[in-house]
């Protein structure tokens, strides 16, 4: 099993966080706090199962107590952290059941979103989707793997946005946030490299030519293969899974 060195990983995470902070000076502090903490959960800088408190976060993230409190509420709503009352918060654990539940919902929702989106891509969205399909990563470069996870997330969410059902879009975005964390972990610690760009390209071709049923079929196959690969990878990571894997 291949692992990135702790030094390489921590350095990449720090550089990525600093880069993010440098580009978010024009957005609200609430949004900045939320996106920064979400990024650190997805990249497992804040590890699954870790206990965190508002005071600790305020000390380590120079964003402000009010913004931190707002971010914690949003993260809890999305299921990335669990409110433990006076004890603070716990970063949501990665479990086999949570992965399977997430993919179960995605298999029900995303093929239908493909049917709805087929033939309705405007030029801007088409270009964005093509850009996502070009994303790749070096297995020894954690920052690239984080960027790849975000590109994968954007690909699926853009299709949902084109489909036009706002409730399904919000549902998929919330599922995809946690999926980014799982996908990142599987890339860092998984055996070998799995690149989904070809799958995405074929799905995009079907969407762009109005072949809704073909796009739905390809999406279903893609999700099944993705789930299998991720489950295989995370089963090698008992330190990131809950004791009970059921």
CATH number (domain holding residue 59)? 1.10.10.10
Whether 1 is covered by a domain: the verdict is: no
CB 13 within 8 A of CB 40: yes
Place of tokens 């993230």: 61
Q: Final residue of a domain: which of 63, 91, 119?
A: 91
Domain housing 231: 96-240
Whether 246 is covered by a domain: the verdict is: no
pLDDT at 24: 40
| DSSP one-letter code for 184 | H
Whether 245 is covered by a domain: the verdict is: no
Rounded to the nearest angstrom, the gap between the alpha carbon of residue 177 and the centroid of all alpha carbons in its chain is: 4
Is there a single domain that holds both residue 48 and residue 154? Answer: no
CA distance 80 to 53: 14
Is there a single domain that holds both residue 123 and residue 144? Answer: yes
CA triple 225-204-104, angle to 5 deg: 35
Structure token digits, residue 155: 């690909």
Is there a single domain that holds both residue 107 and residue 211? Answer: yes
Q: What is the CATH number of the domain that holds 221?
A: 1.20.120.530
Provide mean pLDDT across the span 38-67. 90
Higher pLDDT, 219 or 178: 219
* 129-155 confidence digits (pLDDT tens): 999 999 888 877 878 888 888 898 899
Sign of CA dihedral 110, 185, 149, 32: positive
DSSP string, 22-72: HT-TTS-HHHHHHHHHHHHHHTTSS-TT-EE-HHHHHHHSTT-HHHHHHHH
Is there a single domain that holds both residue 232 and residue 110? Answer: yes
Closest CA relative to residue 43, chosen from 62, 19, 64: 19
- Residue 148, number of CB atoms within 10 A of its CB: 23
Is there a single domain that holds both residue 77 and residue 119? Answer: no
Is there a single domain that holds both residue 223 and residue 185? Answer: yes
CB 119 within 8 A of CB 182: no
Is there a single domain that holds both residue 84 and residue 159? Answer: no
pLDDT at 115: 97
- Residue 201, number of CB atoms within 10 A of its CB: 16
Is there a single domain that holds both residue 161 and residue 235? Answer: yes
Is there a single domain that holds both residue 189 and residue 111? Answer: yes
User: Strand pairing partners for 52?
Assistant: 89
The whole-model pTM stands at 0.76
Q: Final residue of a domain: which of 91, 126, 157?
A: 91
pLDDT band at 123 (very low <50, low <70, confident <90, very high): very high
pLDDT at 3: 33
Whether 17 is covered by a domain: the verdict is: yes
Three-class DSSP category at 241: strand
Whether residue 236 has pLDDT greater than 80:
no
DSSP string, 70-136: HHHHHHHHTTSEEE-GGG-EEEPPB-HHHHHHHHHHHHHHHHHHHHHHTT---HHHHHHHHHHHT--
pLDDT at 208: 97
Three-class DSSP category at 143: helix
Q: How many domains does the chain have?
A: 2
Q: Final residue of a domain: which of 43, 72, 91?
A: 91
Is there a single domain that holds both residue 82 and residue 111? Answer: no
At residue 188, φ and ψ (nearest 5 deg) are -65, -45
pLDDT band at 26 (very low <50, low <70, confident <90, very high): low
Is there a single domain that holds both residue 157 and residue 84? Answer: no
């Amino acid at each position: 099993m291949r692992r990135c060195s702790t030094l390489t990983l921590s350095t990449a995470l720090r550089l990525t966080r600093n880069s993010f902070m440098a580009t978010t000076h024009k957005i609200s502090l609430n949004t900045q706090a939320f996106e920064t903490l979400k990024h650190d959960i997805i990249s497992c800088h804040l590890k699954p199962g870790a206990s965190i408190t508002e005071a600790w976060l305020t000390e380590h993230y120079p964003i402000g107590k009010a913004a931190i409190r707002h971010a914690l509420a949003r993260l809890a709503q999305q299921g990335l952290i669990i409110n433990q009352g006076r004890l603070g918060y716990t970063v949501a654990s990665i479990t086999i059941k949570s992965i399977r539940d997430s993919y179960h919902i995605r298999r029900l929702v995303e093929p239908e979103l493909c049917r709805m989106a087929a033939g309705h891509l405007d030029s801007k969205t088409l270009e964005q989707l093509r850009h996502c399909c070009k994303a790749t990563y070096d297995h020894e470069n954690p920052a690239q793997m984080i960027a790849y996870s975000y590109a994968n997330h954007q690909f699926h969410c853009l299709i949902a946005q084109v489909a036009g059902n706002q409730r399904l879009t919000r549902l998929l975005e919330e599922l995809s946030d946690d999926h980014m964390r799982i996908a990142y972990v599987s890339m860092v610690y998984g055996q070998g490299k799995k690149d989904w760009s070809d799958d995405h390209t074929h799905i995009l071709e079907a969407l762009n030519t109005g072949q809704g049923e073909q796009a739905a079929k390809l999406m279903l196959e893609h999700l099944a293969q993705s789930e299998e690969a991720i489950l295989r990878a995370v089963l090698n990571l008992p330190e990131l899974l809950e004791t009970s894997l059921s």
